[in-house]
Structure 1
Amino acid sequence: MKKITIITDAWYPQVNGVVRSIQNTNQQLERMGVTVTMVTPQTFRNIPCPTYPEIRLSVATYWQVAREIEASAPEAVHIATEGPLGLLARRWCLKNSVPFSTSYHTRFPEYVAARFPVPIRFMQAFVRWFHNAGNGCMVATASLERELAKLGLRNLLRWSRGIDQSMFSPKPQENRPFGLPRPIFLTVGRVSVEKNLPAFLDLDLPGSKIVVGDGPARADLQRRYPHVLFTGLKTGKDLANAYAQADVFVFPSRTDTFGNTILEALASGVPVAAYPVTGPIDILEPDSRAGALNEDLQQACLDALQCSREDARALARTFTWEAASRQFLDNVRLSQSRLALPAR
């Protein structure tokens, strides 16, 4: 398998878990001698997504997408998202009897239902229709695999995630990072409704709270929580330094399918506080000293203060992009070997 074409509706300048997962995987695949061609919104005219303008929706025709895929002459096709490009790529594959794989990065039904008046059961049916047309749907965790199987998704394959251990690592801590008193409770990610940030921002905690990231809810949350520091988007070394100054990383989301930021925090030597839901429960073991899970998020935060920075770092070392990318490649090969496409 030397040539893979990946179609995704999520791509730069977006900065999110989907984009980072694909980009890191691509880098590893290229080291393995695999040529990856991307079909992304950058190729086509696009418009801002209603209620979330940072996301660009491609305005492309079937034939435009077909030409992009055919020009890449792929040995395998992977469709990463259920958006406009993903739908057109799915159509091309089925029209041409080309086996393909997909991946489930985002809780799409919940994401849409949070923004538009669409019954969640309709979106669940859409997800089932979209992914079951392929020969394999990749998911990040065992708990998510169980959830999707209950919804009727078939041919589920595991594709874990990794972490750049050279970028995210423990660093000397300042007495008053960001000019704020310790302990520092930090969260990182899109500042949007599905991230459930008020569950963190409403907590009565000692020290200081910091939100790193940007998104459509930022202006409103900054007005509502003037005592919280919103730094805006940080990337690269600035982001790594922000993680390293935290005492606890707080992950308030209940809808993420994995939580790449959890790994970034752990690699920085920062214990994690989260709800016991898909993502956190797949990374942190019940008796882990690397963090705390609790339906009472305040208690999880306080318990995480007592956790071990060394154990956090040790847990992160078990997640590598090389291993995750080999998993991805094996899944793509398996999907290609299932020559008889499932029923539509």
Structure 2
Amino acid sequence: MARHIQFDRLGGPEVLQVREVATGAPGAGEVLIRVDAIGLNRADAMFREGSYFLQPSFPSSLGYEAAGTVEAVGEGVVGLDAGTPVAVVPAFSLNEYGTYGDHVIVPASAVVPRPAHVDPVTAAAVWMAYITAYGALIDEGGLLPGDHVLLTAASGGVGLAAVQTARRIGAVPVATVRGAAKRQALLDAGAAHVIDTETEDLVARVQEITDGRGVRLAFDPVAGPGVDTLAQAISPGGKLLVYGALDPRPTPLPNAAFYPDLSTSMFTMFRVTADPERLRRAVAFIDAGLSDGSLAPVVDRTFGLDDIADAHRYLESNAQTGKIVITVGHDADAA
């Protein structure tokens, strides 16, 4: 038996329950993992409350990220053996698999070896954020050394990963926050400039920072009417990539009446994780950054598996800077 987090109805963190479930053996193309740490993401909370693009089938599990050790592999799985330290990347449907448990089965295509120097908590905080950042800024955004990139709502896990990713290739990350409380954390993470949108004019500050050129790329999880302002901060021929919808209002085509010279599109990390070659490149880039220290996930706080509801409440408070991670004890195994 394994301990899994499940829920039977949409709602707040209180719907999450710890249950004993039969894990079974991994099927063809699957891997059974003994989980040591689980990464939390905004998508988890949205899935739980019914605002995600995918609706849950009950009883439902959830979770895209985890780190642990392979316990068994199914037929046809190669390159992963029992005892191998691994991490799980977001490359599956939450209606088919989930990582919220002490032992979970996931597709082998979503499992990557974990370098010996990367501990489970760090590994559980990596993949959603850094694949999203790499995929948008480099794979799809074409960011180059010397380019300015505008990162809005940048104090979350993806924002901090994007700051470090931009720095790693020699680009110039310009981060935004609401209020001054998280300014220093962004500067410490490597942001070249931090704009407080509550007290500063975004467009004016970007023009000042870039000597009037504007940024080459804007990477935004907010969406809504604010994209119109972002468009004014982008240089001619630049790009606006929207990867979230924190603002529930409709998102207009930026400055449609004036036909600004920029391309606008939605970005989803699954474009990378669903393509084996793009995922291979992303994993190679991120592993190299973890090895040389240029990519270092920021973990704000850890919770135990039994405290999953409190962890989700903290996730939804927006008080964190960086990643929230669940640590999984295995005292029963030792007994």
- Give the TM-score taking structure 1 as reference length: 0.28
Instruction: Identify, as 1 or 2, the structure richer in strand.
Output: 2
- Give the TM-score taking structure 2 as reference length: 0.28
Instruction: Identify, as 1 or 2, the structure richer in helix.
Output: 1
